[in-house]
Amino acid sequence: MADLVVTQETEPPADKRPDRKRADKKRTRPAFLGERGWGRKWTLAVVAWSVALIFVAPYAEMFIGALRPSDELTKPGYLPSTFEWSNFVNVWKDSTLGDNLQVSLLVAGLSTVLVILVALPAAYYTARRRYRGRGAFLLLVLVTQMFQPTALLVGLYREFYNADLLDSVWALVLVNGAFNLAFAVWILTAYFGSIPVELEEAAMIDGASRFGALRRVTLPLAMPGIVTAVIFAFITAWNEFVVGLALITTPEKQPLTVGINSFLGAYEVQWQYLFAGSVIAIVPVVILFAFIEKHVVSGLTAGSIK
């Protein structure tokens, strides 16, 4: 390992990390919307809240739909006469929703573990060393990010047909793991790159082993990046639709996004259950997303935009 070149310059890590406080301080206030003032501030607020309302409205309607009594589903009207909370209980009966939820948790959970196990060493090494083929590796990751499972669907279908993995949750774990890898590599490379190698060296002088230094110094400092990668990989796999639709045919093995299709019957649509299932699927990931909101853009644009 001694022949490998140390690649980091000294710089306090906070300087380069996408830190929340720093971003706020740096934010510019363009002058062109007029002078700051009481009236302007509240006008902006009212406009922004109206926009926010438009973004919330469909999901509010989804929630209200989930609470409609079944005899009021086909009646026009903004609100039902009573809220039928039992819809959220009954949706589990006579449907595969419980199984679908399990599949979604399994696929999103395992594919996220796969992403992190594969991305962590690659990102750490790429941030720390300049090796032959580093540029090629980064280009491969960038190109991977631009390919989407939808575009490769027929190829994926044929591959898993040949491998006898059609209708298997493992196929979904692999596909989600591979296609969410790029985001994790970008985020983690940026975070590891921002941690000075001197911190690791200091720990090693103090008697820590290389992996001890990694575990006690580097990984904790990179935690915001790891959390972002974990949450993003989980949400993307959780919401994945088209591969699940194409590869999984057994209703009990389908993920939640595909499974709720069973409520969309040819002759009758069970809207209340469809929406109850959707609310159950959406609420947790929106809350998770709020935690990583600030960091997502840099991973999706491969760092082209900070």
Site for another protein in 37-56 (CB under 8 A): 41-42, 44-45, 47-49, 51-53, 55-56
Q: How many residues touch another protein (CB under 8 A)?
A: 133
Nearer to another protein (CB atom), residue 207 or residue 289: 289
CB of 206 to another protein, least distance (A): 25
Nearer to another protein (CB atom), residue 78 or residue 206: 78
250 three-class SS:
coil
CB of 130 to another protein, least distance (A): 3
Pick left, alpha or beta for residue 84 (phi over 0 → left; psi -120 to 50 → alpha; otherwise beta). beta
Decide if 255 contacts 103 (C-beta within 8 A).
yes
Q: For residues 107 and 170, what is the distance between their CA atoms, to the nearest angstrom?
A: 8
Decide if 223 contacts 292 (C-beta within 8 A).
no
Unique residue bearing structure tokens 């679908």: 100
Residue 32 interacting with another protein (CB under 8 A): yes
Residue 293 interacting with another protein (CB under 8 A): yes
Residue 142 interacting with another protein (CB under 8 A): yes
Choosing from 183, 186, 213, 222, the residue that interacts with another protein (CB under 8 A) is 186
What angle separates helix 181-194 from helix 223-239, to the nearest 10 degrees? 170
Residue 161 interacting with another protein (CB under 8 A): yes
Q: For residues 299 and 172, what is the distance between their CA atoms, to the nearest angstrom?
A: 22
Residue 158 interacting with another protein (CB under 8 A): yes
CB of 51 to another protein, least distance (A): 7
CB of 95 to another protein, least distance (A): 16
Q: How far is CA 194 from CA 6, 13, 21, 138, 298, in A?
A: 14, 5, 17, 17, 14
Nearer to another protein (CB atom), residue 143 or residue 202: 143
Residue 242 interacting with another protein (CB under 8 A): yes
Burial class (CB in 10 A: 0-12, 13-18, 19+), 254: buried
CB of 275 to another protein, least distance (A): 7
Residue 222 interacting with another protein (CB under 8 A): no
Nearer to another protein (CB atom), residue 39 or residue 207: 39
> Which parts of 250-289 interact with another protein (CB under 8 A)?
257, 260, 264, 271, 274-275, 278, 281-282, 285-286, 288-289
Q: For residues 89 and 204, what is the distance between their CA atoms, to the nearest angstrom?
A: 56
Backbone angles phi, psi at 264, to 5 degrees: -95, 70
